[in-house]
Amino acid sequence: MALPDPAAQGPAPLPAADVLAELEDLRAGDLPTHGGRTLAYVYDSGVAEADELGRRALAMYGSTNGLDPTAFPSLLRMETDLVATARRLFHGSDGVVGTVTSGGTESILLAVKTARDAAAVERPVMVVPTTIHAAFHKAAHYFGVERVAVPVDPVTYRADPAAMAAAIDDHAGRVVLVAASAPSYAHGVIDPIEQIAALTSERGLRFHVDACIGGWVLPWTPDAPAWDFAVEGVTSISADLHKYAYAPKGVSLLLHATPDLRRDQFFASADWPGYTMLNSTVQSTKSGGPLAAAWAVVQYFGDEGYARLVGTALEGTAAVVAGIADVPHLDVVAQPDSTLVAIAADETCDVFTISDLMLEQGWFVQPQMGFAGSPATLHVSLSAATAASVPEFLDALRTAVGTAVERGPIQVDEGLRAAAEAIDPATLDDAAFAGLLQVAGLAGEGGAVEAPAQMAPVNALLDVAPPRLREALLIAFLDHLTR
């Protein structure tokens, strides 16, 4: 037998210490996950002991496999514990059942798939407000469900129950699911859950409340409107533990009001020569690490801990809202119902420039494009760890706005804007996309694709591009980035 050609072999094995050092180096280029200055993507309790506990649980259970709960009863136990906790917090009756998933998107995918399969109608439809999380768009796309997006109230950005009722009745017999947010990601407001539930229960329809981001906040939010299983007619709820439960990434909950409602979530296949596949989630083999880490962190904080963390995050949010009232040229788009704030700028400056300038000062705020009457904004998710540094955040924001006003709003070239509106992304091939990425500033001279240091010009251009083109360009960007 010929030995492998040494020249064709990969790099020599590395000592563990060197590998760890390289991992550390790689992390240095990322957004910080702790310190409270990254105001999207990550959630920071500011409690070092909880972080350490989560990391240890993650490592301890990283190799376990949730594929078969009879082989790893520890995972079954922790899953039922977390579901029981959520059932209690969300005012569920004894009938409520749930599943731990890998994230909000998986919880939502499963809620939609389950509803579609249970209804078994031709041309299934889901009725959602335009502010519903894009994970529902993904679910609609994956599972062949038509998405009917109903405009929200133009002032409050909350779902409009009368308009939703009309949309439901326009698609009578085909609606498999109605969904709303508690709160919405983009504007941080809670949809009128009670009113929507009244119209879905009257019509015998499923109603999913997306509490991915609010699920571990609202139970401790004073004066939160009713949003959970206390509301008659709510049939399922998604709640992410890797957001405000402050667990490491990779864990969310999907709860159904009864086992009957959940039945179609499961999948089994005995039609092959291997083990009978039996799954409650999209993943089959799955690490027990994120589940164990979430279980550990939820035990550690308990209701008392979360009440304190939520109180802190809410105080921080109120301080941000109050502070912005004193920052010229900025406004909050809607009075937040929990810990999320959407900030808009007037015509003298540009949120995309502000976002770049904030990053230069060590703060990440997430740009959101204008959409259907909602202006371009900066998204801020307030973690408990951020609350103490809100004054510094506001100082940085004031500085950024001052500079952004000096620079003036970004003017997108008229020709480019017209071209963007005329392009049909469906007609573009790989080479055309490569050219467009260069025009958009997402590729350098030689065509090498990389994230630009200054995102503002790119974001401003994407902001004027129709949503379909925006999607296509960003897909091309990711496609090239990962080649």
Ligand X SMILES: *Cc1c(COP(=O)(O)O)cnc(C)c1O
Nearer to ligand X, 44 or 240 (CB): 240
Residue (of 175, 163, 191, 167) closest to 112 by Cα position: 175
Least spacing, CB of residue 438 vs ligand X, in Å: 30
Nearer to ligand X, 188 or 305 (CB): 188
Rounded CA-CA distance 217/309 in Å is 9
> Beta strands 252-256 and 236-240: pairing type?
antiparallel
Nearer to ligand X, 42 or 464 (CB): 42
Nearer to ligand X, 175 or 186 (CB): 186
Least spacing, CB of residue 137 vs ligand X, in Å: 11
Greatest Cα-to-Cα distance within the chain, rounded to the nearest angstrom: 77
Question: Among all residues, whose Cβ is closest to ligand X?
Answer: 104
Nearer to ligand X, 105 or 317 (CB): 105
Task: Assess contact for 314 and 224: CB atoms under 8 A.
Answer: no
Binding site for ligand X (CB under 6 A): 103-105, 108, 133, 135, 181, 185, 210, 212-213, 240, 252
Least spacing, CB of residue 252 vs ligand X, in Å: 6
Least spacing, CB of residue 181 vs ligand X, in Å: 5
DSSP state of 328: T
Least spacing, CB of residue 142 vs ligand X, in Å: 13
Least spacing, CB of residue 131 vs ligand X, in Å: 9
Alpha helix ranges (H) inside 90-239: 104-119, 135-143, 161-170, 193-202
Least spacing, CB of residue 177 vs ligand X, in Å: 15
Instruction: List CB contacts of 146: < 8 A, sequence separation 6 or more.
Output: 123, 124, 125, 126, 140, 174
Nearer to ligand X, 193 or 456 (CB): 193
Coil, helix or strand at residue 27:
helix
Q: Residue 29: count other Cβ atoms within 10 Å of its Cβ.
A: 6
Task: Assess contact for 162 and 152: CB atoms under 8 A.
Answer: no
Least spacing, CB of residue 372 vs ligand X, in Å: 17
Nearer to ligand X, 87 or 133 (CB): 133
Token output for 482: 């990962």
Task: Assess contact for 240 and 212: CB atoms under 8 A.
Answer: yes
Nearer to ligand X, 135 or 152 (CB): 135
Residue (of 250, 228, 234, 281) closest to 109 by Cα position: 281
Coil, helix or strand at residue 293:
helix
Least spacing, CB of residue 19 vs ligand X, in Å: 29
Tally of CA atoms within 13 A in the half-sphere of 348 that contains its CB: 11
Q: Which phi-psi region, left, alpha or beta, contains residue 100 (left: φ > 0; alpha: ψ -120 to 50)? A: beta
Nearer to ligand X, 108 or 319 (CB): 108
Strand partners, 221: none
